[in-house]
């Protein structure tokens, strides 16, 4: 069961990932982004592109441009930045926050449907309620919304009655391209 302070940390990190921005308190670690982890070589070769003679890839150039604009590519990179800025978090804390955030990203469409909101704080709270956290504990953790109403929605919702695209958390773009998604057929049981 995640500890209470992970609610706000997970919501903060999820907001940074969903808005594709660098968290405000991670600006101190900003100088490390985009730099190679290897020490600079003293290349005296003829190639202006390094010892290998290769030009930087488009992904690396785009990554540097995103960093320069205050945007970060990918959830893993955002988490790396966040945890680097919060070194006081232990390995277990980082693991719990990362697991919560990844679960919210995997189930985003379903959580948004249940919470009736796309606010990251509500998504994390909904996920924690689905994992067995009580509304009282959620409110004690300084949840800003109505924890009891959200808990009632989580516990009374019949997920089997939801459309498959929502249950499976398929992004709207996938559903739009693929067209209406039909229920997967269960294989018939063999006759004995």
Nearest to 81 by CA among 11, 23, 5, 18: 23
Cα angle, residue 102 at apex, residues 148 and 20 outer, rounded to 5°:
100
Here the contacts of 57-65 (C-beta below 8 Å, separation 24 or greater) are: 63/34, 64/34
Whole-number pLDDT of residue 179: 58
- The pLDDT assigned to 176 comes to 59
At which residue do the structure tokens 């773009």 appear? 173
Q: What is the pTM of this model?
A: 0.66
pLDDT tens for the chain, residues 1 to 192: 455 568 888 998 999 888 877 655 554 444 444 443 444 444 444 444 444 444 445 545 555 555 555 554 588 888 998 999 989 998 999 999 999 999 999 999 999 999 999 999 999 999 999 999 888 888 888 788 888 999 999 999 998 898 888 888 887 777 656 555 566 666 655 655
Dihedral sign, CA of 170, 13, 10, 84? positive
């Amino acid at each position: 069961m995640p500890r209470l302070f992970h609610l706000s940390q997970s919501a903060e990190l999820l907001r940074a990932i969903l808005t594709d921005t660098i968290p405000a308190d991670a600006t101190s670690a900003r100088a490390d982004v985009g730099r190679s982890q290897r020490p600079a070589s003293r290349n005296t070769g003829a190639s202006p592109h390094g010892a290998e003679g290769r030009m930087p890839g488009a992904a690396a150039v785009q990554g540097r441009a995103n960093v320069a604009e205050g945007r970060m590519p990918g959830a893993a990179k955002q988490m790396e930045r966040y945890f680097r800025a919060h070194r006081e978090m232990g390995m277990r804390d980082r693991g719990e926050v990362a697991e919560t955030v990844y679960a919210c990203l995997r189930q985003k469409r379903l959580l948004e449907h249940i919470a009736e909101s796309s606010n990251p704080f509500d998504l994390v709270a909904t996920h924690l309620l689905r994992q067995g956290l009580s509304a009282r504990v959620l409110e004690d953790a300084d949840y800003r919304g109505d924890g009891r109403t959200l808990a009632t929605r989580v516990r009374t919702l019949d997920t089997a009655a939801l459309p498959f695209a929502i249950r499976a958390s398929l992004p709207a773009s996938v559903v739009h391209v693929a067209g209406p998604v039909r229920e997967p057929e269960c294989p018939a049981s063999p006759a004995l």
